[in-house]
């Protein structure tokens, strides 16, 4: 399985220009592309599909994929499930660009890369992150929350966010900007709903706090928003083009909380973050999982530039949403990696081409994976996926 020379036609715009034009509905030389890759999948792709140009990362990917896959993947020792995370930023940055993506994603401002302390306990590698959250891999491949940072109302009131004011935290962005002046650099940032609910308090305590401690929770969310905005400003100053706000509002066919509650607790902060991103001179992209349709009016009202994911399995209908909102909101979607694992290669190809055709209607479409591409994607589907996107980029499908 080799996919070579991903970008095959003569391009007239830089990736950065292409993304900015798409966000504004202006003409582009071709549809922009966004890949979001799980680090284990990065290792696999570098071994089985397309090596990276950087020899060190190539060597590391080969070594780690060998340890992970020969170790039985989920059954591999803790260390070999953990170390592929070293390739997170490389995989979604330089390597994604080499694959033909227009956006390089840096996870810097989100949680996963902010390791405070690593330690070994109960035969497991564990992490205490900079937010005060204890994490472990368990039997899986993600640094999931073992103990949240906030367990009481008092802790909610007194919580102090980590200090990210030092320039050293933004060095990676500056380095990337310098190395890839024409690339669109996106950085993940936090908003106020997903981070507290899935990481800092835990889902059930957060949900019940909406009723039990609304005043304290609102105050906490406001502090989180201001902290996030400060980081965003520093990130944009360092060279970020697009801020990828990570905040999940839905799940399969439903919103997590009622629209009234979302409008009361979450929306004002999302709107303020988008304003701050624009004031800083960057584009605002929202990554939000699950059912999104009820939020679209509000995203448009808030001035959001790009909505990423829009997973079909969660009940989102891209053609109808794009027809209604595509003149005001760009959608980064169309490569259905969630259902793609269960499709035949031909179905996968047809699905991408169908969404590409839909996206042409308003010029506000970024052809993107609907979440992180995982190592469980069948090799044939993976190959077809990249070939189809390459054909689109080459202009073979109009």
Partner 1 sequence: MSILTDICELLQQGRTSQVRALIQQALKEGLSPDKILNEGLLAGMDIIGEKFKNDELFIPEVLISARAMNAGIEMLKPHLMAAGVSSKGTAVIGTIKGDLHDIGKNLVKMMIESKGMTVIDLGVDVPPQKFYEAAQENHADIVCLSALLTTTMYEMKNVVKIFVANNKRDGVKIMVGGAPITHEFCAAIGADCYAPDAVSAAEAALAFCSSGMVRN
| Interaction of residue 219 with partner 1, rule CB under 8 A | no
Q: Which stretch binds partner 1 (CB under 8 A): 140-148, 163-171, 296-304, 346-354?
A: 140-148
Out of 21, 30, 69, 142, the residue judged to bind partner 1 by CB under 8 A: 142
Q: Which residues of 130-169 are buried (b: 16+ CB within 10 A; e: fewer)?
A: bbbbbbbbeeebebebeebbbeebeebeebebeebeeeeb
Q: Which is nearer to partner 1, 194 or 241 (CB)?
A: 194
Q: What is the closest distance, in whole angstroms, from the C-beta atom of residue 341 to partner 1 in the complex? A: 5
Name residues whose C-beta falls within 8 Å of residue 368's C-beta, 6 or more positions apart in sequence.
Answer: 33, 34, 35, 36, 308, 332, 333, 334, 335
| Interaction of residue 298 with partner 1, rule CB under 8 A | no
Out of 66, 253, 281, 395, the residue judged to bind partner 1 by CB under 8 A: 253
Q: How far apart are CA 236 and CA 243, in angstroms?
A: 8
Q: Which is nearer to partner 1, 165 or 258 (CB)?
A: 258
Q: What is the closest distance, in whole angstroms, from the C-beta atom of residue 345 to partner 1 in the complex? A: 16
* DSSP code for 256: S
Q: Which is nearer to partner 1, 60 or 337 (CB)?
A: 337
| Interaction of residue 337 with partner 1, rule CB under 8 A | yes
Residue 50 is encoded by which pair of tokens?
A: 């397309």
Q: Which stretch binds partner 1 (CB under 8 A): 90-98, 134-142, 150-158, 186-194?
A: 134-142
Residue 53 is encoded by which pair of tokens?
A: 């140009």
Size of the site for partner 1 (CB under 8 A): 37
Classified as helix, coil or strand, 131 is: coil
Q: How far apart are CA 316 and CA 199, in angstroms?
A: 25
* Contact predicate 363/27, CB 8 Å: yes
Residue 71 is encoded by which pair of tokens?
A: 């170790």
Q: Which stretch binds partner 1 (CB under 8 A): 13-21, 42-50, 166-174, 204-212?
A: 204-212
Q: What is the closest distance, in whole angstroms, from the C-beta atom of residue 263 to partner 1 in the complex? A: 13
Residues 55-74: x/- map of binding to partner 1 (CB under 8 A)?
Answer: -------------------x
Rounded to 10°, the helix 171-179/214-238 angle is: 40
Out of 180, 318, 331, 375, the residue judged to bind partner 1 by CB under 8 A: 375
Out of 177, 218, 223, 313, the residue judged to bind partner 1 by CB under 8 A: 313
Place of tokens 């059930």: 204
> Which segments of the chain does DSSP mark as H helices, in order?
15-23, 39-48, 55-70, 78-82, 88-90, 96-98, 153-158, 171-179, 194, 203-212, 214-238, 259-265, 267-280, 296-302, 318-325, 337-340, 345-359, 379-393
Place of tokens 């694992």: 341
| Interaction of residue 145 with partner 1, rule CB under 8 A | yes
Q: Which is nearer to partner 1, 74 or 119 (CB)?
A: 74
- Residue 342's nearest CA partner among 304, 369, 380, 371 is 380
Out of 207, 280, 300, 394, the residue judged to bind partner 1 by CB under 8 A: 207
| Interaction of residue 261 with partner 1, rule CB under 8 A | yes
Q: Which stretch binds partner 1 (CB under 8 A): 57-65, 155-163, 295-303, 373-381?
A: 373-381
Q: What is the closest distance, in whole angstroms, from the C-beta atom of residue 240 to partner 1 in the complex? A: 28
Q: By the criterion CB under 8 A, which residues form the site for partner 1?
A: 38, 74, 138-142, 144-145, 203-204, 207-208, 210-212, 251-258, 261, 290, 313-314, 337-339, 341-342, 374-377
């Amino acid at each position: 399985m080799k996919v070579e020379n991903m970008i095959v036609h003569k391009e007239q715009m830089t990736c950065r220009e292409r993304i900015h034009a798409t966000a504004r509905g202006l003409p582009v030389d071709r549809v922009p592309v966004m890949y979001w890759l799980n680090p284990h999948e990065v290792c696999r792709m570098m071994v089985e599909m397309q090596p990276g140009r950087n020899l060190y990362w190539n060597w590391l990917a080969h070594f780690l994929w060998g340890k992970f896959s020969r170790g039985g993947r989920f059954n591999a020792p803790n260390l070999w499930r953990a170390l592929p995370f070293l390739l997170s930023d490389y995989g979604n940055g330089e390597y994604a660009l080499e694959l033909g993506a227009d956006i390089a994603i840096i996870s810097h401002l989100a949680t996963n890369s902010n390791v405070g302390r690593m330690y070994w306990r109960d035969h497991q590698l564990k992490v205490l992150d900079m937010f005060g959250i204890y994490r472990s891999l368990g039997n899986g491949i993600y640094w999931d929350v073992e103990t949240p940072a906030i367990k009481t109302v008092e802790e909610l009131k007194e919580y102090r966010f980590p200090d990210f004011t030092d320039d050293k935290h933004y060095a990676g962005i500056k380095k990337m900007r310098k190395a890839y002046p024409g690339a669109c650099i996106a950085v993940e940032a936090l908003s106020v709903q997903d981070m507290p609910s899935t990481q800092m308090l835990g889902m059930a305590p957060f949900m019940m706090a909406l009723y039990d401690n609304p005043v304290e929770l609102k105050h906490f969310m406001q502090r989180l928003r201001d902290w996030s905005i400060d980081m965003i400003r520093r990130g944009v100053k360092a060279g970020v083009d697009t801020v990828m706000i990570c905040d999940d509002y839905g799940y399969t066919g439903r919103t997590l909380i009622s629209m009234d509650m979302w409008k009361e607790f979450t929306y004002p902060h999302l709107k303020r973050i988008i304003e701050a991103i624009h004031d800083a001179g960057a584009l605002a992209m929202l990554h939000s999982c699950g059912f999104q349709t009820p939020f679209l009016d509000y995203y448009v009202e808030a001035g959001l530039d790009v909505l990423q994911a829009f997973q079909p399995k969660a009940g989102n209908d891209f053609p109808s949403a794009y027809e209604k909102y595509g003149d005001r909101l760009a959608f980064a979607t169309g490569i259905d990696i969630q259902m793609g694992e269960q499709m035949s290669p031909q179905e996968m190809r047809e699905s991408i081409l169908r969404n590409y055709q839909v996206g042409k209607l308003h010029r506000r479409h970024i052809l993107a994976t609907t979440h992180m591409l995982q190592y469980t994607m069948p090799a044939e589907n993976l190959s077809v996926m990249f070939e189809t996107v390459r054909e689109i980029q080459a202009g073979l499908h109009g």
